[in-house]
Homo-oligomer: A and B are copies of this chain.
Amino acid sequence: MKEQYKIPDVVIRRLPRYRRCLEELIASDKDRISSNALSEITGFTASQIRQDLNNFGGFGQQGYGYNVKELHKAIGRILGNTRAYNLIILGGGNLGHAIANYTYLQKEHYFLKAMFDVSASLIGTYVNGTKVLSYSELDGFLDGNKIDIGVICTNKSSAQEVADKLVAGGVKGIWNFAPIEIKVPETVVVENVHLSESLHALTYYINRTE
């Protein structure tokens, strides 16, 4: 599915929040919702919501609002949630453990296939049902398994080397938690979670508010 033009990245990043709020509405048996009501739940303005959804053809009907289940399904389709993804975690520290235990993954058809670490005490053990392997097994593992996403939870100095192995092994997406800009070919997508950037944005706004 290709759009006619490039949807702005900020719009893409709002879609999962819409979807999450719609899930809560489904859980509370709500069938339809106006953009005004959706605005209250999501914290985005109603006109922002209408504008965002119009990027994909719009899903609302004048005087009716949005059908909750249909909109939820449509956003899921846009975000690529109609298929399953195989993941591996690189780095079995606290963060790697946190992600292996992240219940959202199972719920949304993200399948964690293995975790890789250097620690002899960790290799061979299981984290939330996922086996920890040695990095020496990584290339072979990628040869034998179709992995969509590599989650980099290593330290800064190992991140690029690990990313290179992932790319060579056919991984299409890297979810990078290491505090470094990883270089990959254009055919591979990197999504960074740089906690320091989020923390600095927080302190910026704290100082603006005070």
Contact = CB atoms under 8 A, between A and B. Distances in A.
Contacts of A208: 2
Interface class of chain A by DSSP:
helix
Contact of A10 (B10, B15, B179): B10
Contacts of A196: 16, 20, 104, 108
A145 interface: no
Interface residues of A, number: 61
Most chain B beta-carbon neighbours within 10 Å: one of A85, A199, A208: A199
B210 A172 contact: yes
A79 interface: yes
A179 B104 contact: yes
Contacts of A41: 181
Contacts of A111: none
A78 interface: yes
A203 B98 contact: no
A4 interface: no
A52 interface: no
